[in-house]
């Protein structure tokens, strides 16, 4: 009887050990760090947007990433994401040229390969061309080497079109990032730029008209706004001139990302 009891106890102990080992071994050794999808508390009546409740403020600060400019100044920073061309970038560039407004265009590898003429025009007309990755992946799910490759391929493809301009600004695809992504990007020489003004403008089959785009942008206007618009939107192309005129009538000026101070201290995070 005693022998059986000892055997039973032994089996229980061994089973517990095996379960413990299993519990340890099933945990991924190289699990990706926590990923964030960029979000913010929107501006209302000119208030300053906030990321304090999103849980990643310290990561932006750590890596010198921007989502808003100097909130003490009535300055706006106009940026476009160019994943692919939908026929509206020429219109956008025409308006920017007419209104003498600088902008930043974040381009993918597909865009640079297919529309080198437009990238070249962006540069020639004084706009910034930024990196939006080669294939638009979730960069929190790929290795450091793959992140570097994604960025380098865009840089090399665009180099013949850039003149004296250096590609130095990055917008992570889909706004998905973590500490690792921003760290690798910064080591590659990039300043990551997010946004403090945006609306759901990228669904090409759900456009709602120029007036809608105008209202969505104007109601979020605030000092230091980094404005994100998608160039695939017909609404944006149609509303852009009126947005620029109305913002200027409110006392705003449009600035280049190069006017953001290269500092460890980001005004919007203080």
Q: pLDDT digits over 156-175, tens only?
A: 999 999 999 999 999 999 99
Is the pLDDT at 30 greater than 60? The verdict is no
Provide, rounded to the nearest whole percent, the portion of the chain with pLDDT above 90. Answer: 84
Residue 23 has pLDDT above 80, yes or no: no
Residue range 1-21, pLDDT digits in tens: 444 444 443 433 334 333 333
Q: Which candidate in 132, 136, 180, 230 is catalytic? A: 230
What tens digit of pLDDT does each residue of 48-71 get?
999 999 999 999 999 999 999 999
Rounded distance between C-alpha atoms, residue 158 and residue 139, angstroms = 20
Comparing 23-32, 104-113, 133-142, which segment has the lowest mean pLDDT? 23-32
Domains and CATH numbers, the chain: 36-269 (3.20.20.370)
Q: What 3-state DSSP class applies to 123?
A: helix
pLDDT at site 13 = 37
pLDDT tens figures, 186-241: 999 999 999 999 999 999 999 999 999 999 999 999 999 999 999 999 999 999 99
The answer to whether 81 is a known catalytic residue is: yes
- Output 9-12 pairs: Cβ under 8 A, ≥24 positions apart: none
Contact, 173 vs 194, CB < 8 A?
no
Annotation marks residue 230 as catalytic = yes
Query: What's the pLDDT band for 261 if we cut at 50, 70, 90?
Result: confident
The share of the chain scoring above pLDDT 70, in percent, equals 84
Closest CA to 137 of 149, 150, 148: 150
Q: Which residue bears the tokens 């025009």? A: 121
Q: Is the pLDDT of residue 27 over 80?
A: no
Q: Select which of 81, 110, 127, 201 is catalytic.
A: 81
Task: Look at the pTM and tell me if it is higher than 0.75.
Answer: yes
Report whether 76 contacts 252 (CB < 8 A): yes
């Amino acid at each position: 009887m005693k022998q059986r009891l000892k055997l039973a106890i032994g089996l229980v102990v061994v089973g517990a050990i095996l379960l413990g080992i299993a519990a340890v071994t099933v945990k991924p050794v190289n699990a990706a760090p926590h990923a964030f999808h960029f979000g913010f508390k929107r501006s209302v009546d000119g208030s300053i947007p906030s990321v304090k409740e999103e849980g990643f403020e310290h990561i932006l600060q750590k890596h010198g990433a921007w989502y808003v400019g100097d909130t003490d100044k009535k300055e706006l920073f106009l940026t476009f994401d160019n994943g692919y061309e939908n026929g509206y970038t020429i219109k956008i560039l025409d308006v920017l040229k007419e209104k003498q407004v600088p902008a930043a265009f974040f381009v993918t590898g597909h865009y640079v390969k297919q529309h080198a003429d437009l990238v070249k025009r962006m540069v020639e007309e004084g706009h910034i061309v930024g990196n939006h990755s080669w294939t638009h992946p979730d960069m929190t799910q790929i290795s450091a080497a793959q992140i570097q490759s994604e960025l380098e391929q865009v840089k090399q493809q665009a180099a013949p079109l850039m003149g004296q301009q250096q590609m130095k600004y990055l917008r992570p695809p889909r706004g998905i990032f973590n500490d690792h992504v921003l760290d690798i990007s910064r080591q590659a020489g990039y300043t990551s730029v997010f946004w403090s003004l945006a609306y759901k403008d990228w669904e090409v089959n759900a456009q709602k008209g120029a007036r809608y785009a105008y209202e969505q942008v104007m109601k979020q206007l605030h000092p230091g706004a980094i404005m994100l618009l998608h160039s695939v939107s017909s609404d944006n192309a149609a509303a852009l001139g009126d947005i620029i005129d109305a913002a200027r009538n409110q006392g705003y000026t449009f600035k280049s990302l190069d006017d953001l101070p290269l500092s460890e201290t980001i005004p919007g995070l203080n």
